[in-house]
Chains A and B, each alone.
Chain A
Amino acid sequence: MTSRKNGLMRRLGGASLLVRAGLLVVILGVFSVLSPNFINGYNVYALMQTFALLGMVTLGLSLTMIAGEFDLSVGSMVAVAGLITLKLGGSSMIVGTLCAVGFGVIVGLVNAAISSWLRVSSLVVTVGTMMTLSGLAYWIGGGQVVSTDNIDAGMFLDDPILGIFSARSLLAFAAFAAVFCLMRFTRGGRDIVATGSRRQVAAAAGARLGISLAIVFVISAGLSALAGSLIAISLTTASPELGANLMLQAASAAIIGGVALSGGVGGPIGVMIGVFILATLNNGLSAMGANASAVLFANGLVLLAVVILDGRLARALLERLREHRARQHLAAAAPAH
């Protein structure tokens, strides 16, 4: 048993967090060696911009994973939200964004309702919503790419702040801060972890499953919607294709960030690091002129690797840990023979 000192470190997620942070630093190092001025204002800014989109989506998705669920519909939600924003937000982008996020919240509630009341695996439910949404996306724009002349809104969101940040990326950071507080300082946050950790026991011990699921799915869909409308505004364009392979990246980032598909494990800080690791990888690869398919290939390998670790190895290690404890215990217990 570890000593009582490192309380704060634990509260923030323990040693695994340090490992990941280290990994990120290493990757940054490698790329800045490979391509000369990899770490420069513009490029760090570019990283932050990637984070602004991928980060928000991953944050939401990771919450559902912590609760032992999975929201496959985040990608298509991004597209739909963008279209809603530009369609309804003709005059004011704020209105559009609000509509989009509102819609996201509704979808989240639907996901939660179906998967918690009918006890259907959320993977399945959200496959359905994912398809419905991507269809809806085409429907809203009549299959068209919707665009706006309001460049200034986008400029406001993307103009550099302190050179490397932008309104959009700062919003993403804010979202992470908010979720951090949710997980750390509210009963809901605790119930979410409990729900993902050992559902039946949690229920017996008085955790509120329904509410937990509602929270995670609403946040997941809501954040994806927000990310979607922001990106649409900054591109002055929304297309049904947008965010096509976001799901893949978000899932990878979350798992890299230490979230377990089995639920109960992981937190916003780790997720943030995970997102930056993935973003840096892709950014670095394309900085070195790798083409899209190579990047896709790389992402695939990364995800495959992490999902295998998540599946088998974790279980094996836990098993060994338990065996070990039991041994000690019996050593103390068993009468001499």
Chain B
Amino acid sequence: MSKSLNALLATAAFAVAAMAGPLATTASAAAEGSKVILLTVTDECSYCALHKKAFLEEAAKHGLEVEVKINNFDPAEQANQVDQALGERPDALVVWPADANAIVPSLRKIKTAGVPLVVTNSLPDQKYSKFWDAFTGPDDIGNGSTSAEALIEGFKERGLDEGNIFVLVGPLGTPPQIQRLEGFTKTLEEKAPGIKILGTQPGNWDQTQSTDAAASLFTQFGDKVQGVYAEADNMLAGVIVAAQRAGIDPKSLVLVGHNCSIEGVTALENGTQYATVLQSPIDDGIYAAQAVANLLDGKEVENITYLPHPMIKQAQVKDCYPAVGK
């Protein structure tokens, strides 16, 4: 018992020393062979898994030693992992926030510890941008507007320049949900004021919930809508099921989804889905890895770098294959 107690006391003193201000040395170490810790959210989603894979491969190219810590989208857990990670004295940290708001205190902690930091995938409120050296990830406003353009094209193809749609969004209040919807509605108002959004329901990135939500929306406006926008392809998959169950042929609707995830690819190929917007986990991972490498090489790095967000229709669906590991 007393043995471990001594250990504690010792470490306590040790820690006080450690806490005492930035570790200047690591700041300018070259990327080659330096130690990077990736704090990512989970293995349990295709996007996240591919993101991790791509990051590791790219990092290897730059000769980085990467250690990965995973939590289950649990911000509390992630906060602890940050402390843990700082304890291992890495040359740099790459963080995928489990929650874009909850991460802020940890970011500040990392800043005060003086460890170079890349934030990937989810962009915290930009007023805290001084806490990170680089952000790489999707531009959700851009994503939203691209999907709006896709929807408009779809209507044009069917010879419509006005009509009605409804929208399924992610968990209310999360940045991607807000920003994608913002981009989508703005572009829609500018370019096709004739297309009206009759209703919006959260599908919470969940297919089953989306099915029920869509079902109720079809109940309300079934006969009035010509199109649906879902902030993610798997939610759109739910919409398609709901439509079939409601006796509506999905092909008769202009269905625009998002991410070009596996669900989207299948639906695009069999023609039930009209379009989606590619947000490639591969790019996401690679960008993050490059950012951290450049950072360690002491190169100049943009505070914010967005991923490209190309529109994908049946014709371009092959572009998604790497993204879905096909």
Interface residues of A in 163-200 (CB under 8 A from B): 163-164
A160 touches B19 (CB 8 A): yes
Which residue of the partner chain B has the closest CB to A28? B4
Which B residues are CB-close (under 8 A) to A25? 1, 3-4
A43 touches B83 (CB 8 A): yes
Which of B5-13, B279-287, B292-300 contacts its partner? B5-13
Interface residues of A in 147-164 (CB under 8 A from B): 147, 151, 154-155, 158, 160, 162-164
Q: A28-B4, A143-B173, A144-B173 are in contact. Are A40 and B11 (CB under 8 A)?
A: yes
B15 touches A164 (CB 8 A): yes
Q: Does A231 contact B (CB under 8 A)?
A: yes
B80 touches A37 (CB 8 A): no
Q: Does B101 contact A (CB under 8 A)?
A: yes
B171 touches A44 (CB 8 A): no
Q: A283-B84, A289-B67, A292-B43 are in contact. Are A42 and B15 (CB under 8 A)?
A: yes
Which A residues are CB-close (under 8 A) to B69? 286, 289
Which residue of the partner chain A has the closest CB to B37? A289
Which A residues are CB-close (under 8 A) to B105? 151, 154-155, 158, 234-236
Q: Does A254 contact B (CB under 8 A)?
A: no
| A83 CB, min distance to chain B CBs, angstroms | 11
Which residue of the partner chain A has the closest CB to B73? A241
Which B residues are CB-close (under 8 A) to A283? 80, 84
Interface residues of B in 1-59 (CB under 8 A from A): 1, 3-4, 7-8, 11-16, 18-19, 42-44
What is the bound-complex CA distance between A49 and B171, given in angstroms? 28
Q: A141-B173, A142-B172, A162-B16 are in contact. Are A287 and B84 (CB under 8 A)?
A: yes
What is the bound-complex CA distance between A145 and B86, given in angstroms? 27
Q: Does B317 contact A (CB under 8 A)?
A: no
Q: Does B202 contact A (CB under 8 A)?
A: yes
B13 touches A242 (CB 8 A): no
Q: Which of A163, A242, A243 contacts B14 (CB 8 A)?
A: A163
Interface residues of B in 201-244 (CB under 8 A from A): 202, 204
Q: Does A53 contact B (CB under 8 A)?
A: yes
Q: Which of A151, A164, A236, A286 contacts B8 (CB 8 A)?
A: A164
B43 touches A160 (CB 8 A): no
Which A residues are CB-close (under 8 A) to B70? 286, 291-292
A163 touches B19 (CB 8 A): yes
Q: Does A21 contact B (CB under 8 A)?
A: yes
B71 touches A286 (CB 8 A): yes
Which A residues are CB-close (under 8 A) to B71? 286, 292
Q: Which of A42, A160, A291 contacts B84 (CB 8 A)?
A: A42
A160 touches B75 (CB 8 A): no
**Please, how many residues of chain B have a CB less than 8 angstroms from a CB on the other chain?**
47
Q: Which of A143, A162, A234, A291 contacts B12 (CB 8 A)?
A: A162
Q: Contact flags (1/0) for A41-63 with B, using CB distance below 8 Å?
A: 11111100110010000000000
Q: A25-B1, A163-B16, A237-B102 are in contact. Are A46 and B42 (CB under 8 A)?
A: no
Q: Does A296 contact B (CB under 8 A)?
A: yes
What is the bound-complex CA distance between A287 and B104, given in angstroms? 22
Q: Does B81 contact A (CB under 8 A)?
A: yes
What is the bound-complex CA distance between A289 and B40, given in angstroms? 11
Q: Does B130 contact A (CB under 8 A)?
A: no
Which B residues are CB-close (under 8 A) to A49? 79-80, 83
Q: A37-B87, A41-B18, A293-B43 are in contact. Are A143 and B172 (CB under 8 A)?
A: yes
A37 touches B88 (CB 8 A): yes
Q: Contact flags (1/0) for B58-86 with A, using CB distance below 8 Å?
A: 00000000011111111111011101101
Q: Which of B7, B15, B204 contacts A45 (CB 8 A)?
A: B15
Which residue of the partner chain B has the closest CB to A246? B76
Q: Does B99 contact A (CB under 8 A)?
A: yes
| A145 CB, min distance to chain B CBs, angstroms | 5
Interface residues of B in 145-198 (CB under 8 A from A): 171-174
Which B residues are CB-close (under 8 A) to A88? none
What is the bound-complex CA distance between A42 and B3, given in angstroms? 19
Q: Does A146 contact B (CB under 8 A)?
A: yes
B173 touches A145 (CB 8 A): yes
Q: Contact flags (1/0) for B99-131 with A, using CB distance below 8 Å?
A: 101101100100000000000000000000000
Which B residues are CB-close (under 8 A) to A237? 75, 99, 101-102
* 18 more CB-based (< 8 A) A-B contacts, given A41-B87, A44-B12: A37-B88, A40-B87, A42-B15, A42-B83, A46-B80, A141-B173, A143-B202, A145-B173, A145-B174, A235-B76, A235-B102, A236-B101, A283-B84, A286-B84, A291-B43, A292-B44, A292-B70, A292-B71
> What is the interface of chain A, defined by CB distance below 8 A to chain B?
21, 24-25, 28, 37, 39-46, 49-50, 53, 141-147, 151, 154-155, 158, 160, 162-164, 231, 234-237, 239, 241-245, 283, 286-287, 289, 291-293, 296
A-B contact pairs, 18 of them (CB 8 A): A25-B4, A42-B86, A42-B87, A44-B11, A46-B81, A142-B172, A144-B174, A145-B101, A162-B12, A163-B18, A235-B99, A235-B101, A237-B102, A239-B75, A241-B74, A244-B74, A291-B68, A292-B70
Q: Which 9 A-B pairs have the closest CB atoms?
A: A41-B15, A42-B87, A144-B173, A163-B15, A147-B101, A237-B102, A235-B102, A46-B83, A292-B72
